[in-house]
Structure formats: structure tokens, C-alpha cells
Amino acid sequence: MIKQKTLKSGINCSGVGLHSGDKVKMTLLPGKPDTGIIFHRVDITDGSSIIPATWDNVVDTTMCTTLGNSDGVTISTVEHLMAAFSGIGIDNVIVEVNGPEVPVMDGSAAPFLFLIECAGVVEQNKARRFIRVLKTVTVEDGDKRVTLTPGDGFALDFKIEFESAAVSRQSISLGFADDAFKNEISRARTFGFLHEVEALRAAGLAKGGSLENAVVVSGDKILNDDGLRFDDEFVRHKVLDAVGDLYLAGSGLLGRFSGVCSGHAQNNRLLRALFADHSAWCYEELDSGSAESPQTGAIWAEGAEVAVAAMA
């Protein structure tokens, strides 16, 4: 059977919150089997500091994904860290944070993958449970659309379109085999547009944003001195966000996700629609020798090579 995984040892880091601008310390600790991903606000000591990382605990999706508990305690910008857990197959971990936001690091999931690899990954003596998509579920919101369809393994398609020529139209199709997430997605950074910065900061957002942790676009130009990490870094980061948001399902998905010009709000609405229809999904355990096992490198063989298309 495919077994659950956690960290071999604890590890910590510090950085700024993308939206709060505050300095934050975060510690990742091993979790017990079947406990999932749990956030612990260590700056709160009255017993209301635990927030399970689940889709039904999402309380806000404005510019990031924010989780909250019944006591009103929240933790924001969890999607990049959740993407790292998903990409490397971590099932159980305790995330201690001394503030209301996960540190943004360099704006991608790569620093979190590095932390996890430094801590080490160990298997646990419990089977890993997957969520199999049994029928198509779609959420539409104007020109934004997200869909889950049945499939053996986990794969994603994404399309975006912006007026800026620096972004324009981009699409990607990716099957999550072997190190696809690490090599093709994890280093893609969050991005924003210079003309939106003042409005975001007036709304209390992006206070910690800088060229050190985001790709910034001004008109048709990239302001970062080192340019882009991928020619299509923008759509790759949208995939990264989707991977993190979808991992709030509580288990890995077996199916294909498709997104068109969508974001955190639509990702969460998609999970809510999926779980609202009990005929649309089921839990399943996979044997480690299965052809559809995410550990075998045989997922979605037809999409295992990254296909990037310029949609101009």
C-alpha cells in the first residue's frame, strides 16, 4: 500500500507576510498518522489556536487563501506551503506560526520544499487515502471556470489571459509524475501589477510585497532585475496556487483539474461543490504498484511531458 508521510524532524524558518508585512516565524513539526495538516497559532494562548487545513475552514479568498476556526482565529496565505506539502506527498504535519500569516519567502513553493527536504520525509504505518473524482464537477463565475473530471492520477490544465503583453495568453497542461511539481511548478513566483499596488495596500494587502518575493509587472515590462524563471511563469504560478488550494480537500485527488482565468475563490467553491455531491467522489487506497499511483511516475502518461502553448 502507499503509506502516509510526515517529517523526520522539525525545522523552522522566518520571513515576512506578503499581505501583513510583519515578520513571521514558522516551525514545521512531524504529525501523527491520520491527523492531516494542522496550523497552530503559537502567539495565541487561550486554547483557540488550532486551525485544521481543510476546505470547509476557508474563510476568505481575497488575494490569498485564509483559513479560520470557530473562534475567529485565522491564518492567511497558506496556499504555497500547502502546494509544497502536496507536491512532495506530506500527509501529516503541524505548522506552528507566531502570527496571522505564513511567511511568503520568495513568493514560490521552492523554499518550503527545501525546508521539507532538509527535515527529511518518513513513511508512517498507515495507508494513504486518496479522493477519486467520479463525475465532472464545474464552477463558473463570469469568464472564470474551474472543473474536476475523472481520471487515473492527478493532472492539471490552466489558461490565463491578461491585457499586459508581458503576460498575455498562456496555457499549460501538466501530469504530476515523479518530480513534475518540483521541477516545473514549485519555483514559479506570485505576481502582481504595479498599477494595483496602491489600491491593494489601501485595502490592507500586499504590505510585504516586493521584488524579492513577487514578479511585478509595469505596463508591458517585468520590473525584476533577474527577469522570469520561466517564460510562462505566470500560468505556472496559477497552477501552484491551485495545487495548494486543492490539497485542502484533505487528501490527494485522483482526477484532472482545469482552470480558466480562475483563482482562490473558484478553487474553494469547486471543492465545496465536489463534497456537496456524494455521488461525485469516493475515498480510495492505492497499492504502491498501481499504474495510477502518484509514486510510480505513471500518472497521466499522455500528459507527463509539460505542454506549453502560446495562445496568441
Give the span between the Cα atoms of 116 and 93, in whole angstroms. 10
For 233, phi and psi rounded to 5 degrees? -60, -30
Q: Burial, 98: exposed, middle or buried (Cβ in 10 Å; 0-12, 13-18, 19+)?
A: middle
> What span, in angstroms and rounded, lies between the C-alpha atoms of 11 and 27?
6
Query: Do residues 65 and 53 lie in contact, with contact meaning Cβ atoms separated by under 8 Å?
Result: no
The cell numbers describing 242, all together, are 491551485
Q: Is 304 helix (H, G, I), strand (E, B) or coil?
A: coil
- Spatial CA neighbour of 101 closest among 69, 71, 67, 70: 67
User: Which bin fits 71, alpha (ψ -120 to 50), beta or left (φ > 0)?
Assistant: alpha
Q: What is the DSSP string of 55-91?
A: GGGEEE-SSS-EEE-TTS-EEB--HHHHHHHHHHT--
97 forms beta bridges with 26, 41
Catalytic residues, which ones?
A: 264
* C-alpha closest to that of 43 among 115, 86, 101: 101
Q: How many CB atoms lie within 10 A of CB 308?
A: 15
Distance CA 127, CA 284 (A): 10
φ and ψ of 88, to 5 deg: -105, -5
